[in-house]
Structures are given as C-alpha cells and as structure tokens.
Amino acid sequence: MCRARILKENLRPNWDLARLAELFKDWNLCKKHQEKLNLFCEEDGETVCVVCERSPEHRSHPVLLMEEAAQKYQVGNTLDLGSFGPFLRSLI
C-alpha cells in the first residue's frame, strides 16, 4: 500500500467522478414515482416500479422481478439483448 504523504492544498475535487456518482444515485429510481425500479416489463423491454406495474400502461403486460429477468435472458455466459435492448439504450 502506498504511504506517500500528500499535502491537503494539493488535493482537488474530482468533478467527473462526482457527476458520475450523481447519475448512478438516481439511475435505479422511477422518474415518475421515485420508487425503486425492481421489475422488468417484458412487453415494453423496460424496468418499472410497483406503481408503474399497476398502472393501465403496464397492467396487462408480463412483468418479472429484475433477478428473474436477468436469469431468463442469460444464455450461457452471454446476455440475450432482445428484450433488454431498449432498456440498455435508455441508459446511454
């Protein structure tokens, strides 16, 4: 482990890391309801919260827990991006 001494005045904020941390802080929250996105709507190929799942928009759609969706769409060591494609593109 490095034990080099660093003067406090030589430290500077890492704004890129701060912006990245801010993005990831809210990435798992529904933009409409501020609830955790822990479900995956197979029909729309997007993550949804429990409030969205019960809304008319998703009510009749097949919905999985994220853990189940991850297992279902994993083929060997690769991921079938068919249904996950729109979700992954929304992250970019």
- Domain annotation covers residue 40: yes
Tell me phi and psi for residue 85, to 5 degrees: -50, -55
Decide if 37 contacts 48 (C-beta within 8 A): yes
- Domain annotation covers residue 39: yes
pTM listed for this prediction: 0.57
- pLDDT by residue for the chain (92 residues), tens only, comes to 678 888 888 888 888 777 767 766 667 889 899 999 999 999 999 999 999 999 999 999 999 998 898 888 775 555 556 656 666 666 55
Domain that holds residue 54: 29-91
Q: CATH number, domain at 71?
A: 3.30.160.60
**Number of domains making up the chain:** 1
- Domain annotation covers residue 33: yes
